[in-house]
Amino acid sequence: MTDGETTAAVILNVDHVTKRFGGLTAVDDVSFAINAGEIFALIGPNGAGKTTLFNTITGLYKPTAGTIRFQDRDITALKPYKIAELGIARTFQQIRLFAYMSALDNVRIGEHPHMHAKLWDDIFKTRKAGREEARVTERANELLEFVGIRQQAYNYARNLPYGHQRRLEIARALASDPKLLLLDEPAAGANPQEKRELMTLVERIRGQGITVLLIEHDMKVVMGISERIVVLDYGEKIAEGKPQEVRTNPRVIEAYLGKSA
């Protein structure tokens, strides 16, 4: 290890995490640590366990074994809203937006990861909360601008082109002001040009001081922007390292060639 590596602050520590569904081991004793300020990629063929690991980190699934620590705090048993409150936001592989709400409102909702009915009322309906509403709206507009879809602010989410829906998901996740952002295949379905633009957006997000954990199926997409990469195959970590190291790793080549990824 170089001095640079030992002094970097670990923001997320995944420690021997296993997740089983009945007889299937979707995530198998996986460990890695993400440093604050990194773009860290999680790659692997379809079915490798990438999304399951995200669901485990964000509290949707309780791991069968292992520990997850965020900023030195054990978050393994915490509920999803609590984990969101602590500063972890995510997007979903299958886009989850409020279809019949405007792009702007989808982002406004994201500003309140732990919002319940009472708070909802305060923010959107009562007069005394007007100032707060104006601030939330302004911030939402800024985020739409940041991800490049400001012009879509008043359109229903369902009417946005697919690529813009993906960007809207990212804006909504950013609205909670996360320290760590988990992106589940943000470039899925995008053409090569769009993929490059999305990776530029990921770099800009990191430029805001947000650590990024990025799932990607296609190794080439993350090569240019990730500091480090973990490769999963059948739930197991088969490689970890800098992009150049991972690309030439025989186990990684075999895993990808074997499944025409």
Q: Which residues are near Mg ion by CB under 5 A?
A: 50-51, 93
> Does 76 contact ligand ADP by CB under 6 A?
no
User: Considering only residues 217-236, where is the footprint of ligand ADP by CB under 6 A?
Assistant: none
**Phi first, then psi: what are they for 239, rounded to 5°?**
-165, 155
218 vs 44, 148, 186, 195, CA distance in Å? 8, 24, 11, 11
Under the criterion CB under 6 A, does residue 206 sit at the interface with ligand ADP?
no
Rule CB under 6 A: say whether 21 interacts with ligand ADP.
Answer: yes
Stretch that binds ligand ADP, among 40-48, 98-106, 118-126, 138-146 (CB under 6 A): 40-48
In whole angstroms, give the CA distance from residue 145 to residue 175: 12
> Per rule CB under 6 A, is residue 49 in the interface with ligand ADP?
yes
Quick one: which of 12, 28, 52, 228 contacts ligand ADP (CB under 6 A)? Answer: 52
Of 43 and 140, the one with the shorter C-beta distance to ligand ADP is 43
Nearer to ligand ADP, 44 or 186 (CB): 44
Taking the mean position of all CA atoms in its chain, how far away is CA 256? Answer: 23
Our finding on whether 50 is near ligand ADP (CB under 6 A) is yes
Q: Within 13 Å, how many C-alpha atoms sit on residue 70's CB side?
A: 23
Residue ranges binding ligand ADP (CB under 6 A): 21, 24, 26, 44, 46-52
